[in-house]
Structure 1
Amino acid sequence: MNTTQIACIFDLDGVLVDTAVYHYQAWKKLANSLGFDFSHAQNEQLKGVNRQRSLEKILNWGGITKTAAEQEELAALKNSWYVEMISKMSDTEVLPGSLKLLTELQAAGVPVALGSASKNSGLILERTGLSHFFNAIVDGNSVTSSKPDPEVFLKGAELLRTEPSNCVVFEDAAAGVEAALAAKMAVVGIGTAENLPGADVVIEDLSKINLEKLKALLQHKS
Structure 2
Amino acid sequence: MQPRHLRGFLFDLHGVLADSWQYHLASWQTVAQELQIPWTDQLAATLPGMSRADSLQAILASVGRQSDFTPAQKQRLTDHENALYRQYVASLTPANRLPGVTAFLDELVAAGYPMALASASTNAPAEIAHLGLDRYFPQIVPAGSLKASKPAPDVYLAAAALIHQHPEDCVAFEDTTTGVRAAKTAGCFTIGINAQPLPRADARLASTRDLSLSAVQRALGQLNV
Give the 3-state SS of the residue equivalent to 2:92 in structure 1: coil
Cα RMSD between the aligned structures?
1.6
Question: Aligned partners of 1:55, 1:125: CA distance in 2, in Å?
Answer: 25
- Do the aligned residues in 2 keep the contact of 1:101 with 1:206 (CA within 8 Å)? no
Which amino acid counterpart does residue 142 of structure 1 have in structure 2?
Answer: S
CA contact (8 A) 2:196 2:206 kept: no
2:111 pairs, out of 84, 108, 118, with 108
Q: Write the letter of the residue equivalent to 1:211.
A: L
Task: Give the equivalent residue in structure 1 for 2:33.
Answer: 32
Task: State the shift of 1:17 in Å.
Answer: 0.3
Distance (whole Å) between structure 2 residues aligned to residue 41 and residue 139 of structure 1:
30
| Alignment partners' CA distance in 2, 1:72 and 1:30 | 13
Q: TM-score, normalised by structure 2?
A: 0.90
Alignment-derived partner of residue 162 in structure 2: 159
Counterparts of 1:62 and 1:82, CA distance in 2: 23
Q: Give 1:133's aligned amino acid.
A: Y
In the alignment, structure 1 residue 61 sits paired with structure 2 residue 62: yes
| 3-state SS, counterpart of residue 155 of structure 1 | helix
Give the whole-Å Cα distance in 1 for the aligned partners of 2:174 and 2:99. Answer: 15
Aligned-residue offset at 1:209: 2.5
Query: Displacement of 1:139 after TM fit?
Result: 4.9
Query: Out of 120, 123, 128, which is 1:120 matched to?
Result: 123
> What's the CA shift string for 1:124-151, capped at 9, x where partnerless?
1111111110141115333111111111
Decide which moves more: 87-96 or 32-41. 32-41
Give every structure 1 segment of 4 or more consecutive aligned residues whose post-TM-superposition deviation is greater than 3 Å.
Answer: 215-220
Aligned to 1:189: 192
Hey, what does 1:209 align to over in structure 2? 211
Whole-Å separation in 1 of the counterparts to 2:63 and 2:77? 14
Alignment match, 2:47: 46
Distance in 2 (CA, whole Å) between partners of 1:131 and 1:121 is 11
What SS is found at the alignment partner of 1:8?
Answer: strand
Unpaired stretches in structure 1, ≥5 consecutive residues: none
The whole-number CA distance in structure 1 between the counterparts of 2:163 and 2:218 is 21
Q: Distance in 2 between matches of 1:98 and 1:44?
A: 23
CA distance in 2, matches of 1:219, 1:7: 17
Secondary structure (helix, strand or coil) at the match of 2:151 reads coil
TM-score using structure 1 length? 0.92
**Partner residue of 2:101 out of 98, 102, 109:** 98
Question: 1:18 maps to what in 2?
Answer: 19
Structure 2, unmatched stretches of 5+, are none
Residues 165-202 of structure 1 deviation map (CA, whole Å, 9 limit, x = unaligned) = 210000001011111111111111011343x1111111
How much identity, in percent, do the aligned residues show? 34
Sort the Cα spacing of 1:219 and 1:154 in 2 relative to 1 into closer, same or farther, 3 A. Answer: farther
Equivalent positions of 1:165-184 (< 5 A) are 165-184=168-187
Give the alignment partner of residue 140 of structure 2, picking from 115, 137, 141. 137
Task: Give a deviation string over 1:81-125, Cα, whole Å, max 9, x none.
Answer: 110111111111110111111111111110000001211001111
Greater alpha carbon shift after TM alignment, 205-214 vs 173-182: 205-214
